[in-house]
Structure 1
Amino acid sequence: MDSMELFFISLGTAVVVYFAGKLLLFSRMLFPKICFPVSKSFFTSMGEWAVVTGASEGIGRAYAFALAEQGMNIVLMSRTKVKMEQVAKEISIATGKKVKVIVTDFIKENVFSDIENQLKELNIGVLVNNVGMLPNMIPCKFLESADLDQTIIKVINCNIKTMAKMCKIILPGMKNRGKGAIVNISSGIASIPFPMYTLYAASKVFVERFSQSLQAEYKSKGIIIQVVAPFGVSTRMTAYQETNMVTLTPEDFVKSSLQFIRAGDKTYGSICYIVLGWLLQTIPLKLLYAEPMLCSIQDYVKKKVAQKKCSF
Structure 2
Amino acid sequence: METLMEWFFTTLGALVVIYYGVKLLLFTRMLFPKRCFPVPKSFFSSMGEWAVVTGASEGIGRQYALALAEQGMNVVIMSRTRETLDKVAQEISESTGRMVKVIVADFIQDNIFSDIEEQLKYLDIGVLVNNVGMLPSVVPRRFLEEEDLDQIITSVINCNVKTMVKMCKIILPGMENRRKGVIVNIASGIASIPFPLYSLYAASKIFVERFSQGLHGEYKDKGVIIQAVTPFGVSTRMVGYQQTNMVMLSPQDFVKSSMQYITAGDKTYGTVRHMLLGWLLNSIPLKIFYSESMLHGLQEYVERKQAEKKRSSSVLSEA
Q: Secondary structure at the match of 2:162?
A: helix
Amino acid at match of 1:121: Y
C-alpha root-mean-square deviation of aligned residues, in Å?
0.8
Identify unmatched segments of 5+ residues in structure 1: none
Q: Secondary structure at the match of 2:98?
A: coil
Q: Tell me the percent identity.
A: 70
Which position in structure 1 is the counterpart of 2:3? 2
Contact 1:240/1:308, CA 8 A, preserved across alignment: no
Residue 113, structure 1, aligned to residue 114, structure 2: yes
Within 5 A, what are the aligned runs for 1:196-235? 196-235=197-236
Secondary structure (helix, strand or coil) at the match of 1:272 reads helix
Q: Which residue of 1 aligns with 2:29?
A: 28
The answer to whether structure 1 residue 244 and structure 2 residue 245 are counterparts is: yes
Is residue 2:66 matched to residue 1:65? yes
Runs of 4+ in 1 over 6 A off after TM superposition: none
Counterpart position of 2:42? 41
| C-alpha separation in 1, matches of 2:89 and 2:146 | 35
Matched with 2:261 is 260
Give the whole-Å Cα distance in 2 for the aligned partners of 1:191 and 1:97.
Answer: 37
- Provide the C-alpha distance between the structure 2 equivalents of 1:22 and 1:242, rounded to a whole number of angstroms: 33
1:221-247 C-alpha deviation (Å, 9 max, x unpaired): 000000000011111001000011111
Cα distance, 1:3 vs. partner? 2.1
Q: 1:19: how far off?
A: 1.4
Aligned position for 1:99: 100
Letter in 1 for 2:171: I
1:4 Cα deviation from its structure 2 partner: 2.0
Residues 1:283 and 2:284 aligned together: yes
Q: Which amino acid aligns with 1:163?
A: M
Query: Structure 1 length as normaliser, TM-score?
Result: 0.99
Q: Which residue of 2 aligns with 1:12?
A: 13
Q: Measure, in 2, the Cα distance between the counterparts of 1:49 and 1:5.
A: 61
Q: Which residue of 2 aligns with 1:306?
A: 307
1:124 partnered with 2:125: yes
Work out whether residues 125 and 179 of structure 1, in 8 Å CA contact, stay in contact via their aligned partners in 2. yes
Q: Which moved more, 1:283-292 or 1:153-162?
A: 283-292
Instruction: Name the amino acid aligned to 2:67.
Output: A
Partner residue in 1 for 2:294: 293
Question: Is 1:77 aligned with 2:86?
Answer: no
Q: CA deviation at 1:14?
A: 1.4
Asked if 2 retains the 8 angstrom alpha-carbon contact of 1:184 and 1:226, the reply is: yes
The answer (yes or no) to whether the contact 1:156–1:203 under 8 Å persists in 2 is yes
Deviations 1:250-269 (A, max 9, x none): 00000000000010000000
How far apart in 1 are the matches of 2:281 and 2:131?
23
Distance 2:14 2:291 in 1: 39
TM-score (ref. length: structure 2): 0.97
Which letter maps to 1:101?
V
Point out the more displaced range, 136-145 or 108-117.
Answer: 136-145
Shift of 1:30: 1.5
Q: Aligned ranges for residues 177-188 of structure 1 at < 5 Å?
A: 177-188=178-189
Q: Find the counterpart in structure 2 of residue 165 from structure 1.
A: 166
Task: State the Cα deviation string for residues 116-135 of structure 1 (Å, max 9, x = none).
Answer: 00000000000000000001
Whether the aligned pair in 2 keeps the contact of 1:49 and 1:74 (CA below 8 Å) is yes
- The offset of 1:290, in angstroms, is 0.4
Partner of 2:182, secondary structure, is strand
Instruction: Give 1:206 shift.
Output: 0.2
Aligned to 1:155: 156
Query: 2:66 and 2:89 mapped to 1: Cα distance?
Result: 9
**1:193 corresponds to which letter in structure 2?**
P
Q: Aligned partners of 2:273 and 2:11: how far apart in 1?
A: 36
Structure 2: stretches of 5+ with no match in the other structure: 314-319
Matched residues, number: 312
